[in-house]
Amino acid sequence: MLRKTTADLIRDCRRGVASIAIACPIFGFAMPTYAADDLVIADFESKTYEPWTVTGDAFGPGPAEGTLPGQMSVDGYAGKRLVNSFFEGDRTTGTLTSPAFSIERDYIGFLIGGGKDTQKLALQLLVGGEVVRSATGPNDQAGGSERLDQDSWDVKDLKGKQAQIRIVDQATGGWGHLNVDQIVQTDTRPVGPIRNAKRNFVADATYLNFPIKNGADKREVTLLVDGKVAVVNTMELADEGADWWAPMDVSEWQGKTLTVQVDKLPESSRALESIELMDERKQSDNLYAEPMRGQIHFSPIRGWNNDPNGMVYYKGEYHLFFQHNPYGWGWGNMHWGHAVSRDMVHWTELRDELLPDEMGPMFSGSAVVDWNNTSGFGKDGEPPMVLFYTAAGNPTIQGLAYSTDGRNFTKYEGNPIVGEVTPGNRDPKVIWHEPSKRWVMVLYVEWKGKHTVHFYTSPNLRDWELASITDGDAPGGRYLFECPDFFELAVDGDPNNKKWVLTAADSVYAIGSFDGKKFTPEFERLPGHQGRGFYAAQTFSDVPESDGRRIQIGWWQTDTRGMPFNQSMTIPLELNLISTDDGPRMTFAPVHELETLREVTHDLGAFELTEKDANPIDQIRNQLLEVEVEFEPGDAEQIVFNIRDVMVVYDPQSERLHVDNHSAAAPLRDGKQRLRIYCDRTGVEVFASDGLCYVPLPFNTKPENQRVHFEVRGGSIDVKSMKVHELRSAWKGH
């Protein structure tokens, strides 16, 4: 090693450049000594991996020159090359192992990125052939980044031992690859993340409020209650300057010690210290009045929602569970959110009930009331509400939870109730089949390369056996893809003429018969909604017989950027079957409970409208509207509504309805057309042809534009009746 001169020592004493202080031989004050030089284990700048040992084909013939074909842009690596196991895509697997070396420094630093899987994607330190340290990438969900970040292991306790580095890629799905570079031994801990940072709280308030920064790196956040893991989530924690605050309801753990643990944080992060335990949701002063909050559609207080789940009527309340990410604006952390309503219009959101557990995140499912307590989960004469869900871990299984008060739920200790059929099985819909006195589960399964629906039966909701399989890949194209629903409807309201309806996530449906075990379709691949942004709809079970309606709610894909919430639900829809020349067909109609939102009604009565007439609704201004109109089209070429810049145009010649240039079949019925339009801040839902045509359309309206317009182009029409209702917000009073 190059010796220091006296001049060098004096200069370094004055600069204070080294890391360890000893007595300065010249001036008598403490002077720094020099840390040992870093030892490079591998910088991967060669064209081959020699002398490392390669197995499999994931790592290619040698270190990659950055981004590989089909990969997002890779950055953050050192030099010109790196280990990149995306060679020929995520399907490839293999290992890369270093020669043995002696651990001579306090730390081993490295750059790492790519996929996250602690078992199948790992940079490992081996001593005596055993894994003593391991690291993985940050990405296990869609999106993310290929950036490599600095990380390290503290290996002081291993100094002097012989070791090897092994890079493992045994993952084949999305993000099934790892990026690694610049593996170095050093006595100075590399500036990288703090591992498993923790902060303790005493649960003496209702909510832990987490700071969220949209688009930030996802961190694994574990909540421990008295030292035991309660739930694990990924969050885009704000190191400083939160976009919004995500509340976690911790009221069930009052008086206990809560520990928040984050898998890794930058040294400068203020995320942990920013978490606030309080009785309010932080920054919720304008709750439900946010600029892009739908006012007649349900949306969660905070975070993302998608599929409606577990829709059931129980003890005088409609229960709407839903796929919920309480801690992110995008998809992830699948919980079951929970809201209740007396009328399906005014909703109260409760705490999330099904939290991710060791079996996986909580995917979609359904709910029933076990009136006869066949399951044994009821008590004190109270029939239980039973939830059925997919736990999307490895394996992917079906589980249940139950409650006798509709507020507190217990996951069944005997889960799973149905084991994995294939990794794609999900979304159990359970019904009671009265003729056979059995429970029936309808389950989506990707089976033998096809999209199928499996029918299971059970006497007690706990023990299930396969009864039949319905093929969703019949000639004519795929349908019956995920999120099935199954129910019976009377044709034209005739209780003696009922048909079974099997629907799928995109609302394509089949009509047929069911004997308690096998569904026999008579009409298949029938279109449901004819709009866009509508998915995974489900119907309420256990609606009282005195009501008799089949009521559906769908996931409405409303994109609300800049808000602390994202997505919503459609208005509740009443489903029926009516006769047509082509056979029975399903209709959609708004439930009558929505009429309670009417605040001001403009009744225009009956009149003739020509292309020369002025706009008859020109004076009306409101963000929230319901339009009802019945007309005979006469010789008109087009009947045109402009609802806050959403164009709704009916073409009598083709009998088609165009909503914002989206076209749908809307036949005249008895020579007339009946339109009903609901307009919210987040879009429109349009009903035509007595409900045979339903067009939901998410659309971010401009708050300053409240104009409504009605005109005829070419000829005239005979308006039989027309009403425009200005609506009040369903959230008023919350």
Report strand pairing: 94-97 vs 53-56. Answer: antiparallel
Residues 328 and 677: their CA atoms lie apart, in Å, by 32
70: tokens are: 């089909």
- Which residue is catalytic, options 307, 352, 370, 485? 307
- How many CA atoms lie within 13 Å of 57's alpha carbon, on the beta-carbon side? 6
Contact 442, 429 (CB under 8 A): yes
DSSP 357-415: BTTB-EEEEEEEE-TT-TTS--BTTBPPEEEEEEE-SSS-EEEEEEESSSS--EE-TT-
Contact 107, 189 (CB under 8 A): yes
**H helix or E strand, kind and range, residue 651:** strand 646-651
| Cα separations in angstroms, 566 against 2, 145, 460, 734 | 62, 22, 38, 19
Backbone φ, ψ for residue 195 (5° rounding): -85, 135
Residues 178 and 122: their CA atoms lie apart, in Å, by 8
Contact 539, 320 (CB under 8 A): no
Question: Which three-class secondary structure string do you get for 489-534?
Answer: EEECCEEEEEEEEEECCCCCEEEEEECCCCEEEEEEEECCCCCCCE
Residues 35-62 as b/e (b if ≥16 CB within 10 A, e otherwise) read eeeebebbbbeeeebeebebeeebbbeb
Q: Please confirm, yes or no, whether 307 is among the known catalytic residues.
A: yes
Residues 6+ apart with CB under 8 A from 252: 351
Residues 314 and 111: their CA atoms lie apart, in Å, by 54
- How many CA atoms lie within 13 Å of 397's alpha carbon, on the beta-carbon side? 16
311: tokens are: 């829709």
Bridge partner list, 494? 491
Residues 6+ apart with CB under 8 A from 508: 479, 480, 525, 526, 527, 528
C-alpha torsion sign, points 485, 677, 658, 692: positive
Report strand pairing: 534-539 vs 583-590. Answer: unpaired
- Which of the residues are catalytic? 307
